[in-house]
Structure 1
Amino acid sequence: MTFYELSIVVTLSATFIVVCVYFFLYSLYRQTYIGLWAIFWLVHFVSQIFYRTPLHQLPLFLLISVQIILLSNYLLLIYATCKFLEHKMHKGWYYSAFGVIIFSIITSSLDMHFLVKVVPACVFVAYIYFWHSWMFIRHLNTKGWGKTIVSLAFLGTGIHTLDMPFLITVTWFIPWGFLISGTLRFIIALGILMLYLERNFRDLATKEKQYRLLAENAADTIYLYKLHPVPKITYLSPSIVKLTGYDISDFSQSPELLFSLIHPSDTLLIQKLIQDPVATSATPIIMRLIRRDHTIIWVEQTTVPIFDENGVCMSFEGIIRDITARRELEHDVSRLDRLNTVGQMAANVAHEIRNPLTTVKGYLQLFQRKSNFASYQEQFNLLISELDRANLIIQEYLSLCQNKSRELKSFQLNQIIQDIYPLLKAAANATSKDVCYNAAPTPAVCLDEKEIRQLLLNLVRNGLEAMEPGGTVTLKTYVENGDVVLSVQDQGKGIPQHILDNIGKPFLTTKENGTGLGLAVIYRIVSDHRATIQVDSGPLGTTFKVIFKNT
């Protein structure tokens, strides 16, 4: 193979490599401008195969045709680059190409000198390469060597295009011209690949940063659990600190710490998840976590299994959300729904039951006065006391009725307590117990006086019944965060946990003769006043705090 033939093979191979690079990039990104670039270089490659005769030896018609095809192809290159750089293609390019074609036709028809025929076209093509060099280096907003290499390669190609009309007739230079042209095209292909690799790395780094910011600033906790080859947690978002109270370093030192925080009653759920994450991921897992401060919170976990190319689950991603507030809201809604049911029952049957009870009690009192029944006084008193008890239960039913009218007026809570305090004191003294009242200045709030009296009576009565003789129920009023707080504290043994978890439910009681409606009435009154209630119970006693919003 001669040096001339080798140079032709090299330039064709280089152009073919450029074509392959662009079609490869188009198959990856499916961008229009990449496809147009690929078409440009393909036309360039085909033209080199079919037009191996030197330009100065081509017939007139063929020379004009080659120039029209090549100039149109370069317009396609400009259009593609403008789309890539998001610039609008100026109409001057079309006018310039049309002018060069007309000039070439005229000069070729007049059989003018070869340089006159081709120099305008070569200058136009060289200017296109120079324009590409400038646009890539000036307007391409990327960092790295890729755009620099492409820009220099286009600059070199433009210079080589300008020397072509003058050196194409120099026999010894033609092979070197082919080699230079092929090398420059190869450098363009290499630079384009580098450009897209740099862009990919930059985009990946940007997206990784964005995803990391999303994960690290998300309210929900995100973790990645690897199943093979060694099960372990490989990622844990910082929100786990707020969720559990433990630092990230604690989880690094003890990989199983997260799962050890799961409530013992819910460990079976997480075991099923680890054994079969695909089946378990179909529905969210609701479970309890024990925080560092030993408080229990409810969480909802959603899992997404991650598979390898063989369809084997290699790991899963878990998203843990604190739903304690939602569970409390659901608990409150459920409790209010039960209160509504009891209220409807009260409205339907209470009055009908009280009428015959009143008649029975009246006749018993009448018979009690007759001398014929003097020997049955003890039995009459028992019957009347049981009727009074039944009447009290009905009265509590009626207090749960939602249709009861309420008059909310501006009252001083301290004044209501002072009015009822002697009655509370007398009730405590009757059972060898005491009631203590500590009042602080409080602003007026909207209250229903009768219902607040009932709330006080129920709370104090519950506190007295929970204590042994000698105990004291302490009433306090104070202002906290602008809200008025009523506190009732006893010195009993505390409320059992199973009762505390369901406190406020109707018919739930620990008393042998209790109705289970006292606290239900309290919660209904608190709800009607748009207040909130907090319960703190332990071995040393129980404290009920009723917080009235001062709006």
Structure 2
Amino acid sequence: MLKLIRLVCGIGISLFILWFATSNYRDARPIAEDNLFGLAHSLHAAIENSVLHDPSLQSLATFHAPDLAYFALVDKNGVYRFHSNQELIGTRLQNNDTLQRLFAETMSGTRVKLATGEAAYEFLGHIHTPKETLGLLLVLHTYRADAVIRHARLTMMVLFILVAVGWFLAFIIYRYSRREEMHREEMAQRESLAKMGEMGAMLAHEIRNPLAGIKGFAQLIEKRPDDSRTKESARRIVGEARRLESLVTDLLAFARNDGGEAEPCVLAQLVEHSVDLMRPEAEQAHVALVVDCPPDLVVTGKRDRLGQVLLNIVKNGVQAMPDGGELRVTVHAAGPQVIITINDTGHGISPENIARIFTPFFTTKARGTGLGLALCKKIVEEHRGSIAIESSSPGTTVTIMLPGIRTGDKP
């Protein structure tokens, strides 16, 4: 969507620039025409003033202007009464159409091409004297007046080129970014495949061990059905099957993304429920369970999934203290966050194992699946939170941070 917005904005800006350039160029020619007509009108007034002061027209021989190519005065019979080219004075104007327009009621101007091939501006008007009316033929150079057209044309070409170069560079950048994106996707896919391969190898190893035990005990029962150890072999088969069932359950929990709808969850209830479930096992291991959680702390999430996280971590803490100890669960608010701290006084985790503690199938237990903490991390991140583990000898601290609300606030 963002790429589409950028594309639309780019096209819109480009079209605006092109419209501005072409519009500016179209407006330049009428401006040049107005400048030429205004200059011709000014020269017409100056010539008329000179004729009124000198009816002999002798002073017109010294009349000059920067953009003036030539000018002439013609009577109604078409005879040149004055011409910038002295040799044409007294000759007749050959173009009858020009003669008629000279004595028309309105003044007019048009672009013409001289015999030399030069573009010029021809202005036709008339001058009233006390004795007669003379036609005025003014021919102006257009170079200076057309500067506005040349400037507008140059501006249009530059803007067209800049737009073209901009789109070319944008295309190059897009191709480069697309190539980089495809490269990142390819690398991510390779990394994902590598992780899947590693996970598959670990999964095969975890499944193979219980299957090997089941197979061995089943073969023993098959060969010696009346043996007194058959009951023990059957018990072990059931144990290995339960181990496989636990592995499959953990895999399904790790893969799924459900667990109910998100809702406001009172943390005190979740913590107490998880601790109560582990209390019998903790009493057998002589582990004291201590809970410090305010009753008004609430998080929005999936109750079953969050309960699974707390139960897994409390269970790990209890199992880390086979010789007894204390497991303390502390919950407090820190700004918009709720911080859950679970601390045990067990044997701790070695530094080399801390780095891999959230890796799927990594476990330090003899018969663990290695999915418990990986699942906890996944669930916490699904709730826009974070989880971290610090360990020393003795003791391990698990810290969970979740977005929280108070019961008096709107969820």
**TM-score range with shorter-chain normalisation?**
0.3 to 0.5
Normalising by structure 1, what TM-score?
0.34
More relative contact order in 1 or in 2 (CA 8 Å, sep 6+)?
A: 2
If you compute each CA radius of gyration, which structure gives the higher value, 1 or 2? 2
Structure with more of its chain in helix, by fraction = 1
Structure with more of its chain in strand, by fraction = 2
Normalising by structure 2, what TM-score?
0.44
